[in-house]
Amino acid sequence: MPKISTPGDGRIPASGWMPGAPPQVQASPSVEPPPLFLALEAEEFAAQALAARDPALRGRPFVVINQDPDSHKTVVIACPRAARELGLRVGMLLAAVRRRFRRITTVFRDQAGEDSVSDALRGLCLSYTPEFDVARGRAVLDMMGTPGARALAMDALAARFRNDALAVTGLEELSVGAAATRLMAKVMARQALERGLGVGICLPGREAETLAPLPPECLPGLSPQCRDRIRRYALHSVGQIQSLGRKALETRFGDEGDKLFTVACGLDLEESKRPRTALQAETVFLEDIHDEDVLARQVRLTADKLVFRLRASGALAGKVAVILRYADGKSTRKTLVVHPPTADFVPLSELALSGFLALHVRRVSLRSMSLSVPKPARATGQTDLFETDAVSRQRAIGEAMAKIRKRSGFGAILSAANIDAAE
């Protein structure tokens, strides 16, 4: 197992674990910024979301269920630390829990509460970077080129994000991982959580070294069949998998052998192998907005974020889904066809605004708006033979903005119409 250093001891452990790592040298803004990802993991999210909304549950043992409590098939879906210390675990039958723990409190899952916490987390992520994903107590942020990544060392940035997340969400058990790859950031967050640490980092270039002593169960994204074969081959550490090499793994694991070797080395899968992954941009509304002009600017800002993601991924939008989420937990969506497929701001912002106006109804407070491209098309670089000079100039401006944003972050340059919306 990797050794864990304590804060301030001045040593850098071989595994690259934080705390204790010294400040990292920051890249100059004049060169391509180094990749940096932050990943957040919250233990037993359903239970923590309940405790965040109901202070009476904090520190008390209880179990969360999602079915009829009188059914003999009802199982525990989450339980806080106080319950786990008594021996309660996710997956236990509620009937068995009641026989053994007669005074345990049973609470129904609060989906609206979980959505509220997730919305708060999305708002926080957006203040760090426009490139992020949030889902049920987990978040991944692409921090490459952002002001925070330029100003702070890796460990300091991760610690600040964790402190901010604790403050805005009300959660109590969460850890943050930081690494040069998305996969390693997720692994470090999970490992830090299991070890009771707030933050875990993997120094750039030490991905394989950091993973080597860990069990294969820590590797994400593997199929059940692959994991079963790992057990049958008696591979007890990631280092053993690394030592077999790519060709041997392809021979023993078939099509998944290449993927297994890639993740065992701590690397992200090539983007070309995931060309149809949905791209999404979201704007979270932390307060009620009634001004139609302000809402329109927020729609255009969201479209601008989507354009940034499309250009960064070398993709085009053939369809765009407009998704609105309200304070009562309900949502509505409308999918619009983009013809021809594009990554340009003007047509996508106009389409997004038309979809928003068709969907938005003033019944309860609007909490967030998302634009999603469910199946991005790969950009070929070909241009329309009938493209006008104005469209050509607009496309050139968009490409120039994308290059600046890729180097310095989304907020480095904004359309004049979006400046007020971004503040």
Average pLDDT score over residue span 290-299: 86
Spatial contact of 202 and 188, defined as CB atoms under 8 Å apart: yes
Spatial contact of 375 and 278, defined as CB atoms under 8 Å apart: yes
pLDDT tens track for 231-251: 999 999 999 999 999 999 999
Query: What percent of the chain has pLDDT above 90?
Result: 35
The yes-or-no verdict on residue 354 having pLDDT over 80 is: yes
SS3 at position 49:
helix
The yes-or-no verdict on residue 228 having pLDDT over 90 is: yes
Angle of helix 238-253 relative to helix 224-232, nearest 10 degrees?
110
Among the residue ranges 75-84, 105-114, 232-241, 262-271, the one predicted with the least confidence is: 262-271
The yes-or-no verdict on residue 361 having pLDDT over 50 is: yes
pLDDT tens track for 8-51: 333 333 333 443 343 343 433 345 678 999 999 998 999 999 99
Calculate the average pLDDT of the chain. Answer: 81
pLDDT of residue 391: 61
Q: How confident is the model at residue 124 (pLDDT cuts 50, 70, 90)?
A: very high
Among the residue ranges 16-30, 107-121, 247-261, the one predicted with the least confidence is: 16-30
E-assigned strand segments in 309-415: 315-326, 331-342, 366-373, 377-378
The yes-or-no verdict on residue 130 having pLDDT over 50 is: yes
The yes-or-no verdict on residue 175 having pLDDT over 90 is: yes
Query: Measured between alpha carbons, how far is 61 from 81 in angstroms, rounded to an integer?
Result: 8
Among the residue ranges 44-48, 336-340, 374-378, the one predicted with the least confidence is: 374-378
pLDDT of residue 401: 67
Q: Using the structure block, give the residue that is written with the tokens 């066809």.
A: 337
How do beta strands 315-326 and 331-342 pair? antiparallel
SS3 at position 370:
strand
Q: How confident is the model at residue 71 (pLDDT cuts 50, 70, 90)?
A: confident
pLDDT tens track for 142-151: 998 888 898 9
Average pLDDT score over residue span 177-186: 94
Higher-pLDDT residue of 411, 21? 411
Find the length of the chain.
423
pLDDT of residue 412: 53
Q: What sign does the CA torsion over 32, 34, 35, 36 have?
A: negative
pLDDT of residue 413: 58
Spatial contact of 369 and 356, defined as CB atoms under 8 Å apart: yes
Query: Measured between alpha carbons, how far is 183 from 71 in angstroms, rounded to an integer?
Result: 39
Higher-pLDDT residue of 330, 358? 358
